[in-house]
Amino acid sequence: MPNTETNLTVTVGESDVSALHIRPEDPFATMVVAHGAGAGMEHPFLQGFAEAMAHEGVATLRFNFPYREAGRRFPDRPPLAISTWRAVMDKATELSAGEPLWAAGKSFGGRMASMAVAEGMPARGLVYLGYPLHAPGKPEKLRDEHLYGVTVPMLFLQGTRDTFATPELLEGVVRRIGPTATLQWSEGGDHSFAVKGLKRNAAEVGASLAPAVATFLREKA
């Protein structure tokens, strides 16, 4: 029986953002999932990921950041993105039955989740679906300083061809974070986890990441 997706709204300051909730029967965890900078919560990659997570026994709550909700292209600044994360995590707590609550995101969304947790937002752990360690071609400007203050478990899922994270640099960051961080490579994957020569649509690509994420969540339960 397919899991039903529910449309919700979450109040952030004086405005609302849209959200999508999928809750399978008796989930062992809930995961809030944020989109990347260039696409919203309805992107097929996130849709496929969320549906696959439901089959793994994980409830998900996807949401739009305010800029996306307003139809703007340029991402919100960190203070607004972090306050949005806090509001959506509060909503996820209301919707849960007390199961562990995780924060996850694609690229920008995951980075903002990590900054929110570094600033005190409660979460059982973090899952990065392609962490944007640096801008393409600019490996000298790392976005890693706040990560060393995060003490919850973190899973970095990363494509080996991702131009937003030079492999050697990301491996070094994960080593410096220590045992709370786990790095899992997607061989041949780019920033969207697409692999040359492997014909999959975006929903299939997103769904393919769910087993590894669910395994990590169970291990850290």
Yes or no: is domain 5-219 CATH 3.20.20.70?
Answer: no
Percent of all residues in the chain with a pLDDT value above 70, rounded to a whole number: 99
pLDDT above 80: residue 61: yes
Reported as a pLDDT band with limits 50, 70 and 90, residue 52 is: very high
Task: Give the residue-averaged pLDDT of 168-175.
Answer: 97
**pLDDT of 133-171, one tens digit each?**
999 999 999 999 999 999 999 999 999 999 999 999 999
**Which segments of 44-180 are extended strands (E)?**
58-63, 101-106, 126-129, 154-159
**Contact call for residues 192 and 203 (beta carbons, < 8 A):** no
pLDDT at site 111? 97
**pLDDT of 104-135, one tens digit each?**
999 999 999 999 999 999 999 999 999 999 99
Predicted TM-score of the model (pTM) = 0.96
Structural domain boundaries in the chain? 5-219
pLDDT above 90: residue 191: yes
pLDDT at site 2? 61
pLDDT at site 25? 94
pLDDT at site 221? 83
**pLDDT of 23-49, one tens digit each?**
999 999 999 999 999 999 999 999 999
Radius of gyration of the chain, Cα coordinates, nearest whole angstrom = 16
Reported as a pLDDT band with limits 50, 70 and 90, residue 176 is: very high
pLDDT above 60: residue 1: no
pLDDT at site 101? 98
pLDDT at site 210? 98
Contacts made by residues 68-75, CB under 8 angstroms, sequence distance 24+: 68/35, 68/40, 68/41, 69/15, 69/16, 69/17, 69/18, 75/37, 75/108
